[in-house]
Amino acid sequence: QILRPAAVGAVAPSHLAVGNLRSLARKGHQTDQSEYQKKVDELIAKLSLPSDQYGKDRGLTMQGNADLRGLQRLIEDVVDHGLEGDVYETGVWRGGTAIFMVSVMQWYEAMKQKHNPDRHYWFFDSFDGFQVPTGDDKLDTYLAKSVYVAPLEKVKQSFKDFGIPITQNVHFVQGNFEDSIPKLKVDRPVALLRMDGDLYSSTSVVLKYLYPSLQVNGWAVVDDYGWRPSQTSPNTKLCRHAVDEYRQAHRINAPMDTGYGKPAWRKGPDCRAQPSPQQQLQGDVLNVLCQKLGDAKFLVFGSGRDSPFWKESNPVGTTHFLEHHEDWIGLQPEAVRALTTKVAYTSKLSEAMPRIGDVDMLSQFYKDQIPQDVKDVPWDQILVDSPEGFSPKNPGRGQSIYAARQLARDSTVIFVDDCDRKAEKVYIEKWLLQDDQGRKSRRLTEYSNGHGGTTCRISPVDESHPL
């Protein structure tokens, strides 16, 4: 109300008063954040305490503190991305991790004022231990331990003990995954899929029937990716085999991130085109580059074996290439040639370091070689993959990196291939990561480029949805 236009005859708030209000708002946010984190910390501590329901034999979760804090960050990421899908956990045991996910999700939504009453929570388990035999006698003996049995009634009671009512939004599905999951009709998107089935078959069926419903930017978490009891035969397939086979069969290139306690990956849209074995960029970076493609405005410095792939992966967007080799342009299909501008560079790699601050030289390419209609496009994504920079006689990428800076809007994401090379590193630091006052204005993330080097992703520091 104070920030509304002042009524007739009223005294408008002074700049000092408005500044005080902003300061109070910041302090209020910090207080909310502190209270939220305090609740999370207390919950983690309680879940680790021995449970009376199970004769004080362990707590309600097998997750360590670091695992739960990593899961907390994934839940927060789901909310920050505005993903409204459901939360799934396959492998509940005593319900501790499920309690954690529901609690943290709702607390964080409340703090961010993004409460989503339509979000559902789905929890799958036999609630009667593992299904044996598996075909591996030693593994069967290991899995037959009574500690893995957690009756559904006790799990529901734990929910109530932690203040989580069993409403129409909380679902428990009892049975072996191979029986229950194929019968489930999944007609809602999934924002977070946490897999904790340990075994090959129980992980395979989850990926087959549930992963296709995972939203773009949603997270898949694999609790037992690195799990293999010492008693098992080396020939016994476990969770890891199921995950690797599925990712390979479905060409999932999203990098497996181990920074969240348990291995996880963010689902991205599949590249619309199939990469050829001959093209240069391969592996993890393709999935990241494809995140924005489809209907994006995409500018590429350079053309080559990758060019048809980029055009096909951005079918209803705007794709344009800047290439200085006439012969490379001539090798392209007509559809790619029509999207290519012939340019010329005046720089030399041998002069890259002493001339890093030579704005006249660096800007010459941008001013003279890039057409005005290319300058006028608000590019979503720019890939600097040219010119060559492996020999002193090559132009190096100083002028193209500088031009990318000039062409980029505040929200543009820039990729620079071979950014592990010395010249590329220093030019990125000076011209892409800093503003005119030398302050850091963008963030840098490195990815394997599939041919022994590194591709850097440079994005705004305040990017609302960082990858």
In this prediction, residue 21 carries a pLDDT of 46
Please say if the pLDDT value at position 11 is more than 90. no
Please say if the pLDDT value at position 52 is more than 80. no
In this prediction, residue 123 carries a pLDDT of 98
* DSSP string across 350-373: GGTTTTTT-HHHHHHHHHHHS-HH
Residue 406: partners with Cβ closer than 8 Å, 6 or more residues away: 363, 366, 375
| Banded pLDDT at 3 (limits 50, 70, 90) | very low
Other CB atoms within 10 Å distance of the CB of residue 184: 13
In this prediction, residue 270 carries a pLDDT of 63
∠ Cα 228 230 236 (to 5°): 55
* DSSP string across 407-422: H--TT-EEEEETTTSH
| Banded pLDDT at 448 (limits 50, 70, 90) | confident
| Banded pLDDT at 145 (limits 50, 70, 90) | confident
| Banded pLDDT at 360 (limits 50, 70, 90) | very high
Say what the alpha-carbon torsion angle 91, 92, 96, 98 is, to the nearest 10 degrees.
90
Give the single-character DSSP code of 122. Answer: E
Neighbour-count burial for 386-412, b at 16+ CB within 10 Å, e otherwise: bbbbeeeebbbbbbbbbbbbebbeeeb
Please say if the pLDDT value at position 272 is more than 90. no
Strand pairing partners for 190? 86, 214
Handedness of CA 286, 292, 298, 301 (dihedral sign): negative
Span 418-433, mean pLDDT? 94
Structure tokens that stand for 17 in this block: 């008063």
Structure tokens that stand for 448 in this block: 């394997």
Cis peptide leading into residue 133 (ω within 30°): yes
- Cα 264 to its chain centre, rounded Å, is 9
| Banded pLDDT at 49 (limits 50, 70, 90) | confident
On the CB side of 298, CA atoms within 13 Å amount to 24
In this prediction, residue 405 carries a pLDDT of 95
State the Cα–Cα distance between residues 67 and 47, nearest whole angstrom: 13
Please say if the pLDDT value at position 60 is more than 60. yes
In this prediction, residue 290 carries a pLDDT of 83
